[in-house]
Amino acid sequence: MSCFYVNGNLVRCENDMPLLRFLRDELRLTSVKDGCSEGACGTCTVIIDGRAMKACVQKTSRLEGKHVTTTEGLSRFEKEAYVYAFGRAGAVQCGFCTPGMVMSAKALIDRDNDPDEAAIRKAIKGNICRCTGYVKIVEAIKLAAGIIRENRLPDDADKAEDWSVGSRVARLDVREKVLGYGEYTDDMYLDGMAHASALRSKYPRARILGIDTSRAKALPGVIAVLTAADIPGQNKVGHLKKDWDTMIAVGECTRYLGDAVALVVAEEPMIVEQAKALIDVEYEPLTPIKSPYEAMQPDAPLLHQDGNLLAHKHVSRGNAQEAIAKSKFVLHGRYSTPFTEHAFLEPECAVAMPYNGGVKIYSSDQSVYDTQHETAPMLGLPMEKVYVENKLVGGGFGGKEDVSVQHHAALAAYLTNRPVKVKLTRAESILIHPKRHPMDMDFTLGCDENGVIQGVKAVVIADTGAYASLGGPVLERACTHAAGPYNYQNFEIDGYAYYTNNPPAGAFRGFGVTQTCFAMESMLNRMAHKIGVSPWQIRYINAIRPGQVLPNGQIADASTGLVETLEAVKDAYEGAKYAGIACAMKNAGVGVGLPDTGRVRLRIIGGRVHIEAGASCIGQGLGTVLMQYVTDELSQSGIDRSDIVYSGSNSLSPDSGTTSGSRQTLITGEAALRACQKLKEDLKSHSLNQLEGREYYGEYLAKTDPLGSDKPNPVSHVAYGYATQVSILGDDGRVKEIVAAHDVGKAVNPLSVEGQIEGGVIMSCGFALTESYPLDNCSPTAKYGTLGLFRADDCPLVKPVIIEKAGIDKARGAIGIGEITSIPTAAAIAEAYYMKDNIERYSLPLEGTPYQKK
């Protein structure tokens, strides 16, 4: 037994355990987050006797007489100081890292109440943030230090904020995220709740000959051990293509090490792990397919019944081959990009319980309706019997679009009639959820003597891993955007995505465009040097302008602002000794003829307007955006911000589509405005109280033309965002600064837009320079701490430049920005290194830089 103090209160811990588990499981201090339990991420940071320390690696037996402080133990004034500072600076996105950041900040400020930026970055270097790029967190800590030093809140702390569109308003959820009382799924502790976890495959490819669960079932505390034979509905799930086994049945083959073989449900997590070790599985090991090149061989074993080729995408306009043949200058290049791990701070977790003859699922995912649509057929239930509700989502970046634990939690709850929590360990998360596709890309580019692009031809080979996930659409987007944001008419690309026995690949911020942009923009930089013009100039010559035709045939609309982004970075680029440049375009919305609808319902309850939309907020601030739209629109009818409530996302709200494709601000935002128009009509003759119980529904279908349309100028997407980024190196060879100019149409919340730019840039600094997801015989070997994620003291200065240009007649002209912020960064950095050492680099992470591991 050990006795120590937590937030000033004496506590006793009977059994030795990690402090993290004691604080969360025994004291229910859930501000202390479990991001990795490996001492790597910092989400569990607490203060022990004045020092910031990670609770997951501190044993309670070593805390005798010590004082532990969590955010719950901050003074009232400190709480208000940090809430104000983090909100005003825009330092909160998904929020999962935030309480840990606050504790590291407090430990610093307690010993130095006027820290400089270097001291702040050093103090939080043990705290990973995957969303913000740290810029605004540093600003928030500096602001908090000033407040605490002066012992008073700023005069505007109690002033009502301006919630109109275009205002730099603090996010809705700042307080609950800063203070740690906002509820993520793992923060749920329910009476009678059991725990479940899947036994994963021993081999990346093997036939299962038998599963003996008898010893596991006999273990005291085990409630059930389930296999594929126990699934009441369809075993196959999948985001689009139903090819992913809930569990591998006897007689079937595993396809990667993350495949579930059995599901153990028990009273305690420790018993679950003990029972998993008692399950006897008889395997027939088979030779795994480790690469697309093995998968495409004529004699390769088939990983799925319909073959190893998941998708082939062909995009063509004009005659690229002929145009290249007639070009004065022709370049050819082969580029490759690796698997990348999302590394969101919150590991996947779901809680499910019996509900109304079906199940209720609490989840942290990117669409409650996608979870419903995948889970209900597996349970053999109609959709309405599977209710799904988002808790706070601790980051996604595309990695939480597929079900990972939701269906397992639902199955366990449905069959045992108990509430059940299923949570992945960090090691499981790194193995199981789909990653960014590794791609090999072969590009040929032809230009005339002035640098005008004549034609581009390319081939892309992608490793989509064990299951489809979103591999088909990712490949398609990689191909359609590979032409770049330029005005030429001869383009042809073939893309191929092959199944392997590696971890699956799917959606990741940029959705395939990040990879092909690296290749195309690198080619354009090489071409500029070959011709003898500057990389800035060659882009300015070819940049798409309003009224011109993109290589996909779409006519660029009036909001097209690529030229403006180039002009915004010109001085920074030309004034630097070693600078690289790259441009990008990225669709907002699903596009290419697929149904893409935003839906919002406004309900009048208790004299207030409730915003209901089945759309997940994964850190991008959707709730705040919808609140700004609705507040701004209804202010014309005398409705104040205090009269409006954002209700979150659940499957009783209208289906607003997946949080993917940078679509929610534009598409669901437009739906919200349309619902407001209907409400405004009634407000002309009624008060809110008189409208009690009424509902106002808004819907917007973002109609587009399918890929391969025979229209001369098809509309592939309802909107595109454009960007130019410049990377500047210091004399020491490290990236000193990145200037990122982004055309966003209309910035609904400039503070949030800046945060998206800063976070996306730093994420792709890792993609370009340090991040690694190595595989050994199809098995990932990295831990969270060795993925190569950028930390606060690694980061260059990021200067976001927001370009606003009217032209989109929906959602007040706003264009989503979540993905494009990460797309051009790698190519810009690669070019900066070329300017320093004259070495071309064709693969990521870049070699020959100071960032390489020794």
* Cβ–Cβ < 8 Å for 561, 689: no
Q: Are strands 491-499 and 453-465 parallel, antiparallel or unpaired?
A: parallel
Average pLDDT (400-421) is 98
* Cβ–Cβ < 8 Å for 89, 21: no
Average pLDDT (513-542) is 98
pTM of the predicted model as reported, rounded to 2 decimal places: 0.97
Alpha helices in 34-181 (DSSP H): 76-89, 98-111, 117-123, 135-150, 174-179
pLDDT tens, 270-318?
Answer: 999 999 999 999 999 999 999 999 999 999 999 999 999 999 999 999 9
First to last CA, the chain: 44
Helices 750-769, 825-837: inter-axial angle, 10-degree rounding: 50
**How many whole angstroms from its chain centre is CA 758?**
14
**Choice among 319-328, 445-454, 747-756, 845-854 with the minimum mean pLDDT:** 845-854
pLDDT tens, 740-791?
Answer: 999 999 999 999 999 999 999 999 999 999 999 999 999 999 999 999 999 9
Tokens of 261: 């073989």
Query: What is the rounded CA–CA span in Å between residue 58 and residue 32?
Result: 13
The H or E element spanning position 682 is helix 669-683
Is 834's pLDDT higher than 60? Answer: yes
Q: What is the DSSP letter of 184?
A: B
**What is the average pLDDT value for the chain, to the nearest integer?**
97
Q: Going by C-beta distance under 8 Å and a sequence separation of 6 or more, which residues neighbour residue 569?
A: 536, 581, 724, 725, 726, 739, 741, 801
* Cβ–Cβ < 8 Å for 393, 365: yes
Average pLDDT (793-814) is 97
pLDDT at 131: 97
Query: What is the rounded CA–CA span in Å between residue 800 and residue 739?
Result: 6
pLDDT tens, 453-503?
Answer: 999 999 999 999 999 999 999 999 999 999 999 999 999 999 999 999 999
Exposed e or buried b for every residue in 759-792, given b needs 16+ CB within 10 A? bbbbbbbbbbbbbbbebeebbbebebeebbbbbb
The H or E element spanning position 826 is helix 825-837
Within 10 Å of residue 79's Cβ, how many Cβ atoms? 17
* Cβ–Cβ < 8 Å for 455, 320: yes
pLDDT at 158: 82
pLDDT tens, 17-64?
Answer: 999 999 999 999 999 999 999 999 999 999 999 999 999 999 999 999
Query: What is the rounded CA–CA span in Å between residue 826 and residue 768?
Result: 5
Query: What is the rounded CA–CA span in Å between residue 643 and residue 647?
Result: 13
Any idea what the Cα angle at residue 477 is, between residues 254 and 488, rounded to 5°? 150
